[in-house]
Amino acid sequence: MPPSPPQTLEWLGDALTGHLRLLDQTLLPAQVSFRDCRSIEGVWEAIKTLRVRGAPAIGIAAAYGVVIGLQQNSQDRGTLTERLRQVADYLATSRPTAVNLFWALQRMQDAARRLQSLPPKEMIAALLREARQIHDEDRAMCRAIGKQGAALIRDGQGVLTHCNAGGLATAEYGTALAVMYAAAEQGKRFQVYADETRPLWQGARLTAWELMQNGIDVTLICDSMAAQVMKEGRVHLVVTGADRIAANGDSANKIGTYGVALLAKAHDIPFYIAAPSSTFDLSLETGAAIPIEQRDPREVTHPQGAQVAPEGVKVYNPAFDVTPAHLIAGLITEKGMIQPVTRERIRAVIGGP
């Protein structure tokens, strides 16, 4: 059996003195190193700097972050509610696009309101159980997504993916990569093409590494090679993840995903998105309302610390783009396949207004 990647994140210890341990993804693949987050500032920094990344994993980290943020208030019922609001508001500023962050923070606040009659220490312990439940639910959701999507892959096919939507981005199994893991567990043999995913190279650093760790046949390509690889007939379907999906199916994912979807359409290749129900933001009518994070220009001019552009050049660095629903063949969720991608079908599968 191939080696399995180390755990992306875990809670160590009890509710009042424990902490969050993260696999530092900024150091992969050259170094496997863990980072212990013992303060709310440490959790915020880890999310902001992509030490932990991927919408589901960000949500899980934020839930644990709420517990860490309350540990110093375990003796004072009077300030616990206000401290919870401050912690949630602070963590919400770490990254704007991934809806799982806000979903998890809201869920923790809702749980706290139900638990407000408990003594502070018992309330914090109960909130840790809620965070663990979010973590466990994500594991189950990822497995269910894999089961739902595995039938899309047939023996001998080529599958292209963009960015990283595997165990490194979730509790353990992934979303887009869960489809591939499930297909491999069924005995199917296929080839994965992983886009490098500039400017932060999540495909090269993370997806290629993770798939190799799990014994999946993977070939790394530059982002600019995707069209040629499709033209040569090497790709039969595309599967990516998502960070936020609007009510009409428009989907935000790592920058470059929209371009891949356009290329897939041009080559008559089905383009799928795999995501849990927590990634849907039904309060947004279309993808035009999804906030797009703008990141440090040095990610473009100095990738991995090496200068590749002249000093002072202007840089535009959006971290995400939005793929319109009409380019998406189906949305693979733990609740079932959404196909065709329409507002009505989303409501039928996910629920909501």
Catalytic residues: 243
Tell which residue, 132, 89, 94, has the closest CA to residue 109: 89
Say how far apart CA 69 and CA 81 lie, in whole Å.
Answer: 12
Alpha carbons 293 and 12: distance in angstroms, whole number: 31
Q: Say which residue the tokens 């312990």 belong to.
A: 125
Q: Write out the two tokens for 233.
A: 């007939």
In the chain, the N- to C-terminal Cα span, in Å, equals: 46
- Give bridge partners of residue 271 from the DSSP assignment: 238
CA distance 102 to 82: 18
